Amino acid sequence: MDTRKVFQRISPRIWILAAIVIVGVFLRTYRFSQWMYFYPDQARDVMLVGDVLSGRSSWPLLGPIAASTPFQLGPITYYFQIASGALFGVSPWSLAVPDLCFGILAIPFLFVFLKRILAPATSLALAGLYAVSFPAVRYSRFAWNSNSIPFFIILFLLSLSEFLRTKSRTAWAWVVALGVAFGVGIQLHTVLLVSLPLMIFPTIVFSIRSDPKTWKKWLAVIMIAITLNTGQIVSETRTEFQNTRYFFSVLDTRSPHESVGLAQNLFLDIVCHAQANALFTSSLPKDDTCATITSFRYATGGYPDRATYLLFLAGIAFGLMVFVAGIILAIHRLRMERDEQKRVFLWTVLTSATLTFLVMLPVVGHNGQVRYLLPVFFFPFLSLGLIAEYASRRFPGKFRLLLPVFILIILIALNVSTIVSEAQLSAAGIRSNAQYIILDELEAVRDAIISESAPAPEAYLYGGEKYMQNYLKPLIYSSSQENFTILKGRRDIGTVPAGKPVFFIAQSLDTSVVSEYNASPEAFGLTVESYRGVGNIGIYGIRH
């Protein structure tokens, strides 16, 4: 076989997509194990996986808790992590491998997804933008239950639209894909747990009524989903549906009429979608918490300077434009489209986006997070594509191409700039603070505590509320890997046994960064006798 002829037969489009994926892989894997986020959730998960694989505990029947509620998601995230831990050994980076792989696969899948509606060139350009999207890169670089949502929501929408189009002629590969996407998706986040069933069950009824022969394949979809959720089913039967009761109790406390009112929740939902659209495509604004009314008032918005505040507003304005224009153009395209495949796909996409908007309505007023909108991460990319193709039909001559290319370059530059800035902070060892924890910096903090404690095999730790909330469990896990024990200091430092090392974790004395989470040993009535700075983190030895 002539290898040169084989390569010549490969479409230039495939070569471009391969180059885009390679860029995406590099951004998601460069210094992967050192620069990953490692919060209490990740420390909890790696300890759980270690216990399962060592035989100290059985496989979990339920997954992580949803936000700060007692309700727990399905255990599929843990199962992915256990499988990865069995293959690569139990470590923070090995547990993140599934999210990394799904994050990489989402790049070509997004291209296939967009190509169902947009021109191949437009779809390639937007896949390239997604490859360098700062949030997409960030969510692929550590282990978290919601990080794999982009891949599974694309798989769900592709397979569901294919099922609706081909009905009883649907290939079994699409049937299996739909069952897997549905069964896994409802275990990744509460938003999907509500929105996917609301989407799929009415669709089943409609599909069977229009083509009764589809019932066998729909049954297969449901059986696959049930099989993937066996752990939850077993848990519910053993506990008399306790987790389900928790779920409905959470819904009762998240009424859209509660505290802020329906009108304000509606406003916040729109703004949060706008914020997500801007963040996913431009990395602006960088706030992960959905904006509130007070965020629009400079005096109370919490921004350090006017330029940052104006950048925040610019991001919201851009996201709102993309959000509104995308909805209008998608509905217009649906009305004008004659291609059945595109019509079905557009209907599926718009239904998914609408349900997510409605599900977010009671949530957004209760500390809503932009990451809750990962189920519609694709929408701003689709919107940009629809805007670009609409503009190409309206603008004359070369301008029809120059304007979309110019906007694309700006968006790529904004994302790359944010990625480079984050990498520079991580490379300098100054990324971690009260809110963010980078693994190699956490290990440097651990090593400082162990060094200052020598030859003692344990130490007591105090700190401000935010520092203890974020650092205690990661330090407990990381120190245990070095046969050292971190103990949480009790309120009364006098209860610490004499001669035991005691430390207070807070902001470093060497940084000029001012944070609302700053804390000092003196504020707690403690006396400092030694100090070690690790980047933005200070380790204060306490006399007792």
Judge whether residue 298 has pLDDT over 50: no
Over residues 17-24, mean pLDDT: 97
72: left (phi over 0), alpha (psi -120 to 50) or beta: beta
User: Which run of H or of E encompasses 246?
Assistant: helix 242-253
Over residues 374-398, mean pLDDT: 89
CA distance 322 to 326: 6
Q: Strand 458-463's sheet: what is its strand order?
A: 485-488, 458-463, 502-507, 537-543, 527-534
Does residue 317 or residue 515 have the better pLDDT?
317
Give the least confident one: 169-178, 501-510, 518-527. 518-527
pLDDT category at 257 given cuts 50, 70, 90 is very low
Does residue 268 or residue 26 have the better pLDDT?
26
pLDDT category at 518 given cuts 50, 70, 90 is confident
CA distance 280 to 355: 19
Residue with tokens 């991580």: 426
Judge whether residue 517 has pLDDT over 90: no
Over residues 310-327, mean pLDDT: 88
Task: Give CA torsion, residues 425, 430, 435, 437, to 10 deg.
Answer: 90
**What is the pLDDT, as a whole number, of residue 543?**
81
Over residues 8-27, mean pLDDT: 91
Does residue 497 or residue 130 have the better pLDDT?
130
CA distance 22 to 275: 28
Q: Is 511 helix (H, G, I), strand (E, B) or coil?
A: coil
For the entire predicted model, the pTM comes to 0.92
Chain-centroid distance, C-alpha 370: 9
**What is the pLDDT, as a whole number, of residue 145?**
93
pLDDT digits (tens, 9 = 90+) for 334-366: 998 888 889 999 999 999 999 999 999 888 877
**What is the pLDDT, as a whole number, of residue 293?**
46
Cβ contact 488:496 at 8 Å: no
Alpha helix (H) ranges present in 428-488? 439-453, 465-480
Cβ contact 466:39 at 8 Å: no
pLDDT digits (tens, 9 = 90+) for 71-106: 999 999 999 999 999 999 999 999 999 999 999 999
pLDDT category at 497 given cuts 50, 70, 90 is confident
**What is the pLDDT, as a whole number, of residue 20?**
97
pLDDT digits (tens, 9 = 90+) for 398-440: 667 788 888 999 999 999 999 999 999 999 999 998 888 999 9
Tell me the C-alpha to C-alpha distance, in Å, between residue 94 and each of 27, 57, 100, 241, 447.
Answer: 18, 19, 10, 33, 22
**What is the pLDDT, as a whole number, of residue 23?**
98
Q: Is 67 helix (H, G, I), strand (E, B) or coil?
A: coil
Cβ contact 58:52 at 8 Å: yes
Mean pLDDT of the chain: 89
The token duo for 31 is: 């210094």
The token duo for 60 is: 């979990």
**What is the pLDDT, as a whole number, of residue 300?**
39
**What is the pLDDT, as a whole number, of residue 258?**
47
Crossing angle of helices 306-336 and 262-282, in 10° steps, is: 90
**What is the pLDDT, as a whole number, of residue 397?**
67
**What is the pLDDT, as a whole number, of residue 297?**
45
Cβ contact 289:369 at 8 Å: yes
Tell me the C-alpha to C-alpha distance, in Å, between residue 106 and each of 29, 114, 205, 369.
Answer: 15, 12, 30, 22
**What is the pLDDT, as a whole number, of residue 312?**
76
Judge whether residue 254 has pLDDT over 60: no
Enumerate residues 6+ apart whose C-beta is below 8 A from 486: 449, 458, 459, 461, 472, 475, 476, 479
Chain-centroid distance, C-alpha 528: 39
Enumerate residues 6+ apart whose C-beta is below 8 A from 472: 40, 461, 463, 486, 488
Judge whether residue 315 has pLDDT over 60: yes
